[in-house]
Amino acid sequence: MKTVFDAIVIGLGAMGSSACCHLARRGLMVFGLDQHSLAHDRGSSHGETRLIRKAYFEKPDYVPLLCIAFELWTQLQSECAEALFECNGLVSVAPA
């Protein structure tokens, strides 16, 4: 039997995986393809720590998007069995 997909996503890094997830949530039949195995260590976002902040003085127009990103991380965390996101404090020190 032939399978028909509504969308094919090439590259399952952070962006591609997110695209697959959101398309599938909308009811589309999605096929994701990557040259490496899932959760590999060759991607640009590989690693145990990352920083996301709302205090984005360089481009204040990003702040509304960052607020949405925080909400989406919280939502995704509630759907997963493993810890994905941990909110910690941060002090940034720089010359005046």
Name the domain count of the chain.
Answer: 2
Dump pLDDT digits (tens) for 13-56.
Answer: 888 989 999 999 999 999 999 998 877 777 777 777 777 888 88
DSSP summary character for residue 13: S
Specify the pTM.
0.66
Residue 11's pLDDT band, with cuts at 50, 70 and 90, is: very high
Amino acid at 33: L
91 within a domain of the structure (yes/no) = no
Dump pLDDT digits (tens) for 79-92.
Answer: 888 888 788 887 87
Q: Domain containing 20: what range? A: 1-36
66 within a domain of the structure (yes/no) = yes
C-beta separation of 63 from 54 below 8 A: yes
**pLDDT reported for residue 4:** 96
Question: 29 — phi, psi (to 5°)?
Answer: -85, 115
User: Among candidates 1, 19, 3, 21, which has minimal Cα distance to 11?
Assistant: 19
